[in-house]
Amino acid sequence: MLFNSLDFALFFLVVFAAYAALPLRAQNRLLLVASYFFYGCWDWRFLSLIALSTAVDFTVARGLDRSEDPRRRKALLFVSMAINLGVLGFFKYFDFFVGSAEALARTCGFDPPNLRLGLVLPVGISFYTFQSMSYTIDVYRRQLKPARHFLDYALFVSLFTQLVAGPIERAAHLLGQVMQPRKITWNGLQTGAWLFFWGLFKKVVIGDNVAAWADQVFSGSVAWSTGSVVLGVYAFALQIYCDFSAYSDMARGLGSCLGFDIMINFRNPYFARDPSDFWRRWHISLSSWLRDYLYIPLGGNRRGPRRTYFNLMATMVLGGLWHGAAWTFVVWGLFHGLLLAVHHLVRGKKAHAAPPTAFGTAWRRLAMFHAACFGWLLFRAESLRDVGSMLVALVRNPGWSAECTAWLFQIAFLSLPLWAVQILQERTGDSLAPLRLSLVPRTLLYATTAGLLILFANTGSRAFIYFQF
Amino acid sequence: MPRPAEPSSQPLQTAERRWLRRGGWLFPLAGIPLGLWIGRKTWQAVLLVPTLATAGFDAKGLAIGLALAALPLAWLAGLWLERRWPRTRRWPIAPVLAALALLFAETALRTGLGQSLFWQAVLARSGQQHLAREISLFRLEAADPAAAGRPGIVLAGSSQLVYGIDVERLAAQTGQPVHRRAAAGMFPTELVASQGWFDFHPDNRLALMLSGFDLGARHDLFPEAIRPLATVSGLRNLLGAARARFLLRRWRALVDLGSAAVCELWRSRDYARFLLEHPFRAAETAAAAANETATAEQKEAYVRLGANPEMVALCQRSLARFFADMSGRCRQIVVFEGRVNPAYPGGEIAELSRDMREFLARQERQGTVRFVPRAEQALDLPEDLWRDMTHVGPEGRQRLTEAFARALAAPPPPEIRAP
């Protein structure tokens, strides 16, 4: 059940009507049932995995809270990590690693048996596993008191608004909201309606439409030339941002309507000035998770430059692998790790340099955007061989077809409201700035986006990209 | 518990006021020339060729320019309103105004000028995409007020009619204006849903060509084919003929088609996308692929003809409702029994043709239509006169047009109405 489907509209209306009429405890039970139903619509068999993760982490956290014995606490944490990462690793990486080992064996002249299981990846498993793990680790670190009621904790893990594609919420932020009374307010509804509407616009008007060009280019059905590759990469950069940030906006919007405050996951990442800035703006919930639970425990930047670079690379490679079991993701992670390391190195040397001018800032933004685009080429390509072929075509096959012109027009036309809103958000530093505009520009914005939605929304029910992660 | 903060709009609105003070004069300065330029360039942009209409002063362009010039005044009025009565910010005035703006756009698109601009733009870009060309011609004819005022023969149906009847020759032979309301893929479900485009004059004669092929060609509701021509009266007849379970299983398509029936913006959305995809030149490269797809669909239809008996029954029931409704809105409905290439494969076609013949004969007995069966057509279309399994070639087109003209020229039989 996609957020951009009529089924979901019907589902949410029913849930919201019932929710508004119930007291807190009943509200939580309703949301839990609704969330399991929502997830079960994809594949009810995988509900058992959420239930397993929930039960393990709830039990382990209570044990961690009660115990003062460090060895027992470590053992409990190990149990939780082993089960969570075991399930995640089995479903997500088993076939990948076995397949890679088979390929290696074949290149060495062996004839290995086919051990791949052809597993189906449970939708959103990486998201809820990380969310649940962060809770256990926080309790282990005594940064958080465990949940008292199992159902409250189960709702924290499975809340349908952000269950399948994040943001990866922290218990410190969301669990408290689950346990305390919530109010449906006019302001919350207004904000929620705008966020959902804006997310819907980004997803079905921009993301899904530009995806057609990106798909054609990356699948090779369009001849690779400078024009087609550059435009294909731009299209994918826009697609992945509009698709993923749309889901986050819609999740926040739905949460706001229900009285929850779901964390911000994107802050205009294509306005980033450097790699560190990019990761403070892109998929914030994952990058902050990796920072808090991987980079800092590895030592962060406290153990000298070499160790810092290693930590950055390791964190980004694992971050890349989190996205999926393919070598392209590993290389994408390596590329971003390298960018961060180089930036760290350069920043260290220019610590006392004067702040950049407006031109300098614009130049940095442009450079970072193109660096991110290069990353997307690695990320989206079907294989590393395709990456090579596309880069060769980019350099050796200059050309710009009439089809490229038409697509450039389409991409620019559809994304105009996006850039207008992002510039406003960036200048004000306020993600809800469109709501604060005065009557006329607000009306123009609503009318334009609604008109584009009616005329150009892609109704093909294309799934969100990050569902596969 | 953290909550989304109450919007504080003051700093942003101060910035807006400052920006208007600094740059508001640009709107009248640039707006009027821009409006005049838009007005002058409109036809050129629509038709993709320089035209005489681009020359000279254009009052519409001036109106656009004045509207652009007045924007800062409206903007300031909005700011003043929200400063004077801050509570109005909590009211959903902007969404209501946006809805009104969309209503205005909807109304503008429905006007003769709006329809002419839009569908001429589609036609200019249609290239070899036959469906875009046929739908745009259909809609341009439907939007022509002069044609709508002249009663004549309304020719409705699928590509068998589009490629099988020479409209000019038919008009010459019958001595009546012929209004073409046919497009590829207009099988019974599409035909019934399009009813609103046929009943524009009570003295019209509605001429159809239906065969067993039409009865079995669709295996399910096909919203993409119905949407561009959906009308409220037509959809009412189509859906009224369907069983509740059938409708319930297709409720998403019904929402889509219902929106298309009442909202021109939604109805035209496939062709708005078409304009976006071909902004500067006609669809050339995609044409071959589109025509190939049509051929592939046709081939599939040959094989799976009548595969869904539920759809065959729905076609008959909805056609019955359509005939009953339309017989009161036009002078006469003439149904010419259609045919396919004698070499058409499979036995399904014979059975479906018999079903269709019996159904139309029943309708004639009820007095809703005048049925012209093959036996009365005096028309011979051997295998070599067909372009493919369902479409005639040039010689076949000539013969079919003549037969059609003879059928339409024949005096109507005395009215027989069911008791």
* Rounded distance between C-alpha atoms, residue B349 and residue B356, angstroms: 10
DSSP state of B111: S
A211-A217-A218 Cα angle (round to 5): 85
Between the alpha carbon of residue A127 and those of residues A105, A130, A132, A169, B22, the distances in Å are: 33, 5, 9, 9, 48
* Rounded distance between C-alpha atoms, residue A302 and residue A298, angstroms: 10
Query: Which pLDDT does position B2 carry in this prediction?
Result: 45
Return the residue in A197, A455, A458 with the most chain B beta carbons within 10 A, the one to mutate for interface testing: A455
Of A123, A128, A150, A24, nearest to A84 (Cα)?
A128
Which of A259, A414, A446 lies closest to B94 in CB terms? A446
Spans of all domains in chain B: 10-91, 112-409
Tokens 């193109």 sit at which residue? Answer: A370
B36-B37-B43 Cα angle (round to 5): 105
* Rounded distance between C-alpha atoms, residue B369 and residue B373, angstroms: 12
Which of B9, B266, B285 lies closest to A454 in CB terms? B266
* Rounded distance between C-alpha atoms, residue B261 and residue B233, angstroms: 9
Tokens 């929304």 sit at which residue? Answer: A457
* Rounded distance between C-alpha atoms, residue A316 and residue A67, angstroms: 34
Give the containing element (helix H, strand E) for A152. helix A150-158
B209: exposed, middle or buried (Cβ count in 10 Å: 0-12, 13-18, 19+): buried
Query: Which pLDDT does position B26 carry in this prediction?
Result: 85
Ramachandran bin of A246, using left for φ above 0, alpha for ψ from -120 to 50, beta for the remaining angles: alpha
Q: How do residues B124-180 score in pLDDT, each as one tens digit?
A: 888 878 888 889 998 998 888 887 778 889 999 888 888 899 989 999 988 888 998
Cross-strand bridge partners of residue B184 = none
A111: exposed, middle or buried (Cβ count in 10 Å: 0-12, 13-18, 19+): exposed
A192: exposed, middle or buried (Cβ count in 10 Å: 0-12, 13-18, 19+): buried
Strands B205-210 and B178-182: unpaired
* Rounded distance between C-alpha atoms, residue A193 and residue A211, angstroms: 25
CB–CB of A200/A252 below 8 Å?
A: no
Query: Which pLDDT does position B369 carry in this prediction?
Result: 87
* Rounded distance between C-alpha atoms, residue B93 and residue A437, angstroms: 13
Query: Which pLDDT does position A327 carry in this prediction?
Result: 86
Tell me phi and psi for residue B308, to 5 degrees.
-115, 100
Which residues of chain A carry a pLDDT beneath 70? 350-352, 461-469
Active-site residue, selected from the candidate residues A323, A336, A344, A352: A323
Contact residues for A232 (Cβ-Cβ < 8 A; gap 6+) = A213, A214, A216, A217, A218, A222
Which chain A residues contact residue B122 at CB under 8 A?
none
A95: exposed, middle or buried (Cβ count in 10 Å: 0-12, 13-18, 19+): middle
Window 55-74 of B: residues touching A by CB (8 A cutoff) are 71, 74
pLDDT class of B413 with cuts at 50, 70, 90? low
Which of B16, B92, B102 lies closest to A451 in CB terms? B102
Window 278-307 of B: residues touching A by CB (8 A cutoff) are 278-281, 285
Question: Mean pLDDT in chain A?
Answer: 90
* Rounded distance between C-alpha atoms, residue B136 and residue B127, angstroms: 12
Tokens 């990796």 sit at which residue? Answer: A290
Amino acid in the structure at residue A288: S
Crossing angle of the two packed helices A226-258 and A186-200, in degrees rounded to 10: 160
- B58: helix, strand or coil: coil
Cross-strand bridge partners of residue B207 = B155, B334
Alpha helix (H) residue ranges in B48-111: 59-69, 71-84, 93-110
* Rounded distance between C-alpha atoms, residue B171 and residue B156, angstroms: 15
- B205: helix, strand or coil: strand
Query: Which pLDDT does position A276 carry in this prediction?
Result: 93
* Rounded distance between C-alpha atoms, residue A78 and residue A91, angstroms: 19
Which of A181, A402, A456 lies closest to B272 in CB terms? A456
CB–CB of A434/A194 below 8 Å?
A: yes
pLDDT of residue B347 exceeding 50:
yes
Query: Which pLDDT does position A236 carry in this prediction?
Result: 95
Between the alpha carbon of residue A152 and those of residues A178, A330, B270, B305, the distances in Å are: 6, 36, 46, 55
CB atoms within 10 A of CB B78: 23
Return the residue in A182, A439, A448 with the most chain B beta carbons within 10 A, the one to mutate for interface testing: A439
Q: Does B255 touch chain A (CB under 8 A)?
A: yes
* Rounded distance between C-alpha atoms, residue B99 and residue A446, angstroms: 9
A114-A116-A119 Cα angle (round to 5): 155
Return the residue in A169, A263, A443, A452 with the most chain B beta carbons within 10 A, the one to mutate for interface testing: A443
Cross-strand bridge partners of residue B335 = B208, B371
N-to-C CA span, chain B: 73
Is the CA virtual torsion B11, B17, B19, B21 positive or negative? Answer: negative
Contact residues for B142 (Cβ-Cβ < 8 A; gap 6+) = B115, B148, B181, B197, B200
Alpha helix (H) residue ranges in B199-307: 212-216, 223-226, 232-240, 244-249, 251-262, 264-267, 269-277, 285-303
pLDDT class of B3 with cuts at 50, 70, 90? very low
B260: exposed, middle or buried (Cβ count in 10 Å: 0-12, 13-18, 19+): buried
DSSP state of A166: -
Instruction: For residue A323, indicate whether it is catalytic.
Output: yes
* Rounded distance between C-alpha atoms, residue A412 and residue A445, angstroms: 17
Q: Does B134 touch chain A (CB under 8 A)?
A: no
Q: How do residues B320-346 score in pLDDT, each as one tens digit?
A: 999 999 888 888 899 999 888 888 777
Distance of CA A16 to the CA centre of its chain: 25
* Rounded distance between C-alpha atoms, residue B172 and residue A268, angstroms: 65
Spans of all domains in chain A: 6-182, 188-273+356-468
CB–CB of B111/B104 below 8 Å?
A: no
Window 346-405 of A: residues touching B by CB (8 A cutoff) are 402-403, 405
Q: How do residues B92-104 score in pLDDT, each as one tens digit?
A: 889 999 999 999 9
Contact A436 B9 (CB under 8 A): yes
Contact residues for A81 (Cβ-Cβ < 8 A; gap 6+) = A133, A136
Tokens read off for A243: 């698709």
Tokens 């149990």 sit at which residue? Answer: A79
Tokens 């060609």 sit at which residue? Answer: B217
Sheet with B153-157: strands ordered across = B178-182, B153-157, B205-210, B332-337, B370-372
> What residue in A sits closest to B88 (Cα-Cα)?
A439
User: In this structure, which topology does domain B112-409 adopt according to CATH?
Assistant: Rossmann fold (3.40.50)
pLDDT of residue B417 exceeding 60:
no
Element counts in chain B: helices (H) and strands (E): 22, 5
Query: Which pLDDT does position A310 carry in this prediction?
Result: 92
- B237: helix, strand or coil: helix
pLDDT of residue B191 exceeding 80:
yes
Q: Does B84 touch chain A (CB under 8 A)?
A: no
B17: exposed, middle or buried (Cβ count in 10 Å: 0-12, 13-18, 19+): middle
A392-A394-A398 Cα angle (round to 5): 115
Query: Which pLDDT does position B286 carry in this prediction?
Result: 46
